[in-house]
Amino acid sequence: MDWAPMLVQTVDLGYDQMLLLESHPRTRVRVMFGGVWLTEAGMTQDVFAASGEEVALKSRGLAVIEGLGAARVQVLRTPRFTTFGSRVGEALASMLASAKGAVRYVRTRWQLGVSARKAAA
């Protein structure tokens, strides 16, 4: 059994109603009831799926799902996590750059004040 985290979005489609979504290999479309026509950018074949069927998306780009009458679909996505270290590292680098800029500003203002007092004395 696969225990990977899954994001699930349920969408009801009416006749000729379309759902546009970003196609990704980690995405699947499950037809709960009714029928749908599914096409993906870069793919040569369209897919017709009926109640109970599941389609794994294959390309990266835009996918269009159109209801063939009333239909309900679930879009299942495995979330893409960025590693904790890279996010923290990016945030720390950004904060460090801001702090360096602030220290440089304060030091410059202080030096200008010191030199102005020396010149006045």
- Sequence ranges of the domains in the chain: 7-77, 85-121
pLDDT in tens, 24-63: 888 899 999 999 999 998 888 999 999 999 999 988 889 9
pLDDT in tens, 4-19: 677 889 999 988 889 9
Class of domain 7-77: mainly beta
- Those residues whose C-beta lies under 8 Å from the C-beta of residue 71, and which sit 6 or more positions away, are 12, 13, 31, 32, 33, 34, 35, 36
DSSP string across 6-49: -EEEEEEE-TT-EEEEEE-TTEEEEEEESEEEEEETT-S--EEE
pLDDT on residue 82: 47
Yes or no: say if 8 and 43 are a contact pair by the CB < 8 Å rule: no
Report pTM: 0.61
